[in-house]
């Protein structure tokens, strides 16, 4: 067939500068342009979380005005959770303004954002990011623009895919992070 490359299924995978093929993630085995796209996608999603943290903390005037910022004594969860009208609004409005929930939410935004931007702790970022996004999805049910899927679901699936592909190792510190002895002993930190 014209335009195809014959490949022996038993042939070793290509290596990168002395690395054994088995140690390379799928993202690292990809062509360079694919690596760049995966790395940039990971960083952009990380910035989405980091920006939410910064805006809610300092009231940068985008989603959160300065007078409603966390550093001015306001709850970062009250605005969203107390204005819900969906299926689970009673449950989520009960969480609005709870200091423990506020800290948990903000630490989550910061941790997920930094982990994705840096490409470290991708497993923890994937699990916690997916959990946070699924809770936000449930808070908005029933959906107005699509009866099943919204951006929370697509972003959660994207974070999971980036983690499974090993995208923290491209345009990130994931490869170096994996070499830290403490991380090697605690694989869940990868």
Work out the pLDDT band at 88, boundaries 50, 70, 90. Answer: very high
> Cα angle vertex 168, ends 164, 169, to 5°?
105
Work out the pLDDT band at 177, boundaries 50, 70, 90. Answer: very high
Other C-beta atoms lying within 10 Å of the C-beta of residue 55: 19
Listed range (10-14, 73-77, 106-110, 143-147) with the worst mean pLDDT: 10-14
pLDDT digits (tens, 9 = 90+) for 97-146: 999 999 999 999 999 999 999 999 999 999 999 999 999 999 999 888 88
Residue 113 to residue 44: CA distance in whole angstroms = 9
Q: Is the pLDDT of residue 85 over 60?
A: yes
Look at residue 161 in the predicted model and tell me its pLDDT: 98
Take residue 70 and report the two structure tokens written for it.
Answer: 């966390």
* Domains of the chain by residue range: 44-189
Which run of H or E residues covers position 8? none
Take residue 183 and report the two structure tokens written for it.
Answer: 């991380």
Look at residue 123 in the predicted model and tell me its pLDDT: 98
Q: Residue range 158-173: average pLDDT?
A: 98
Other C-beta atoms lying within 10 Å of the C-beta of residue 182: 7
The pTM for the full model equals: 0.86
Residue 44 to residue 24: CA distance in whole angstroms = 23
């Amino acid at each position: 067939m014209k335009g195809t490359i014959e490949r022996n299924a038993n042939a070793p995978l290509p290596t990168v500068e002395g690395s054994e093929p088995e140690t390379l993630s799928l993202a690292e085995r990809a062509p360079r342009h694919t690596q760049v796209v995966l790395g940039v996608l990971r960083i952009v999603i990380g910035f989405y979380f980091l920006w939410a943290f910064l805006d809610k903390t300092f009231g940068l005037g985008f989603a959160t005005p300065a007078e409603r910022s966390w550093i001015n004594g306001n709850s970062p969860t009250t605005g969203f959770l107390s204005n819900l009208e969906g299926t689970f609004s009673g449950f989520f409005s009960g969480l609005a303004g709870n200091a423990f929930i506020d800290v948990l939410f903000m630490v989550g935004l910061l941790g997920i954002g930094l982990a994705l931007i840096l490409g470290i702790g991708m497993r923890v970022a994937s699990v916690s990011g997916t959990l946070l996004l699924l809770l936000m999805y449930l808070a908005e049910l029933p959906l107005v623009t699509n009866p099943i899927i919204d951006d929370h679901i697509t972003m959660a699936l994207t974070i999971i895919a980036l983690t499974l592909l090993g995208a923290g190792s491209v345009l990130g510190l994931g490869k170096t992070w994996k070499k830290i002895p403490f991380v090697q002993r605690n694989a869940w930190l990868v």
